[in-house]
Amino acid sequence: MECTDSAVEVNNLSVSYGRVKAVDDVSFSVPRGSLTGIIGPNGAGKTTLMKAMMGLVGNCNGSVRLLNRRPSRLDGQSVAYVPQQSDINLHFPVTVRDVVMMGRYSHLRRLQPARDGDRRAVEESLQRVGMLHKVDRQIGRLSGGERQRVFLARALAQQAELFFLDEPFSDIDYTSERVIIDLLRELTGRGSTVFAIHHNVDKAFDYFNLLLLINQEMIAFGETDKVLTPDNLARAYRDSGAVIADGDDLLVIPQ
């Protein structure tokens, strides 16, 4: 019964690089409209898991179903990805408009020029993240938070159903953080499904309704308050930080 309703279903997913297991036997499923955080310490395999879920990792075992299809069967429109800040070449000669227009590529045939509708989608998406006033800026001439909002606008312009964001909240200003989390809530409210990798445990309570806690293997999955227990956190961060529990308050101190 849960297989027809779930937006993403992962069964016994493992990824290994040579003898090293980056992701070890992870299984979970989330319904449409959920906002799921993937958390865990550095090197826990969060990015690898996300790439494997999008069908971009060759050496993996297990199965992934996105919108009831294998990732390779998707059409290039339904999955949107927001890359980690550090993966972006800040000198690349593209403007904010160019980047958001990339979200429209899968809606255009080869050599077909952008239509009025595509340009409108680009501007509306930029409006929603509050970045329309910097539409002609080169992508490197923005703050980290602004750049993150532009990449989210690209995902919006793509009109995807599934959103994968790799560390959208790291090193960003307060305004950008508010804009992004409000927009993610709006998206999930309308039935889109969002996964976001998150580095720190703090704020996970505020951001996500579901959490996947991993450190190579899956430590816990479920509703945020049930996952964030001192016991689970101690297991996830056993080698990389201190977990202090005081009644209902939790504190994780990264290395």
Map the footprint of another protein across residues 164-203, applying CB under 8 A.
164
Amino acid at the residue 196: A
Stretch near another protein under the rule CB under 8 A, chosen from 21-29, 95-103, 127-135, 170-178? 95-103
What is the DSSP code (8-state) at residue 172? -
Binding to another protein by residue 95, rule CB under 8 A? yes
CB neighbours of 212 closer than 8 A, spacing ≥ 6? 26, 28, 36, 37, 38, 39, 218, 220, 221, 227
Whichever of 117 and 254 has its CB closer to another protein, that residue is 117
Can you tell me the distance from the alpha carbon of 140 to that of 92, in angstroms, rounded to the nearest whole number? 8
Output phi, psi for 60, to 5 deg.
-125, 155
Q: State the sign of the Cα–Cα–Cα–Cα dihedral 131, 137, 142, 148.
A: positive
Binding mask 7-46 for another protein (x = CB under 8 A): ----------------------------------------
Q: How far is the CB of 152 from another protein (least distance, A)?
A: 12
Amino acid at the residue 55: G
Which residue among 3, 4, 19, 89 contacts another protein (CB under 8 A)? 89
Stretch near another protein under the rule CB under 8 A, chosen from 75-83, 120-128, 192-200, 211-219? 75-83
SS3 59: coil
Which residue among 31, 43, 76, 117 contacts another protein (CB under 8 A)? 76
Q: How many residues belong to the chain?
A: 255
SS3 195: strand
Q: How far is the CB of 199 from another protein (least distance, A)?
A: 18
* Assigned token pair, 160: 């995807």
Can you tell me the distance from the alpha carbon of 58 to that of 220, in angstroms, rounded to the nearest whole number? 25
Q: How far is the CB of 56 from another protein (least distance, A)?
A: 5
Output phi, psi for 15, to 5 deg.
-130, 130
Whichever of 95 and 240 has its CB closer to another protein, that residue is 95
Chain residues that interact with another protein, rule: CB under 8 A? 51, 54, 56, 74-77, 79-81, 83, 87-95, 98-99, 102, 105-106, 108, 110-111, 138, 140-141, 154, 158, 164
